[in-house]
């Protein structure tokens, strides 16, 4: 029986692959060693929603790079189609796409599980956020009908880097959380002694707590 392939899981190593892009041949993830990257697939070139997405990503490209994070687009279109689409976007929307776009033969989509069921060979709107150790940290998965929110993808990169660096968790809607604003969450205590110390430290002003299991602080 043929093994059914699907998307990699969170925490998996990003699969090694050699790909043709609008910036030449690239080896993933080796060519992005020590960098984070966001690989995002789109259904097809010269389509309305995808065009709005590429413009939106490009408008935020400098912000991604500020977090040591690169962008990589992808669809099953040929590289010639990608190049002409980039030219159209530049000529008609005054936006130069500066990040590479993978021209997939179908192998990348198969490896990452990106073919949309019931939609022919079109790739879904998937997003893989990969860290500097080539580990897949976040996966977003959208239907063809819904364009992505690039600010949420950018927020996710920043939040994961803050979490890694400070060993904290990030609340909903951070940095505008309804309960604790821009504070971050201290991981819950896992034993009685630590739980008691949490409340004591809160009284001393080291951080704030609703209870021993919900403590937070400003970075």
Q: Which residues carry out catalysis?
A: 50
Distance from CA of residue 61 to its chain's centroid? 13
Query: Are 210 and 188 spatial neighbours (Cβ–Cβ below 8 Å)?
Result: no
- Burial label for 63, CB within 10 Å (0-12, 13-18, 19+), is middle
Distance separating alpha carbons of residues 33 and 176, to the nearest angstrom: 32
Contact residues for 59 (Cβ-Cβ < 8 A; gap 6+): 95, 150
- What whole-number distance in Å separates Cα of residue 199 and Cα of residue 186? 12
* β-bridge mates for residue 185, sequence order: 169, 216
Strands 24-28 and 36-41: unpaired
CA distance 122 to 115: 6
């Amino acid at each position: 029986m043929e093994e059914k392939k699907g998307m990699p899981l969170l925490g998996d190593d990003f699969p090694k692959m050699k790909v043709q892009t609008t910036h030449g041949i690239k080896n993933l993830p080796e060519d992005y060693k020590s960098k984070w990257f966001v690989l995002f697939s789109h259904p097809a070139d010269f389509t309305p929603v995808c065009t709005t997405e590429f413009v939106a990503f490009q408008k935020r490209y400098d912000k991604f790079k500020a977090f040591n994070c690169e962008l990589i687009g992808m669809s099953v279109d040929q590289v010639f189609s990608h190049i002409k689409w980039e030219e159209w976007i530049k000529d008609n929307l005054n936006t130069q796409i500066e990040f590479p776009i993978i021209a997939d033969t179908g192998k990348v989509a198969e490896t990452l599980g990106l073919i949309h069921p019931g939609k022919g060979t079109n790739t879904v709107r998937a997003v893989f956020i990969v860290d500097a150790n080539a580990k897949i940290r976040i996966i977003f998965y959208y239907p063809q009908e819904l364009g992505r929110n690039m600010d949420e993808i950018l927020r996710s990169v920043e939040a994961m880097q803050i979490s890694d660096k400070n060993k904290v968790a990030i609340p909903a809607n951070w940095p505008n959380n309804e309960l604790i604003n821009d504070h971050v969450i201290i991981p819950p205590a896992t034993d009685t002694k630590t739980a008691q110390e949490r409340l004591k430290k809160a009284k001393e002003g080291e951080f704030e707590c609703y209870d021993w299991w919900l403590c937070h602080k400003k970075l």
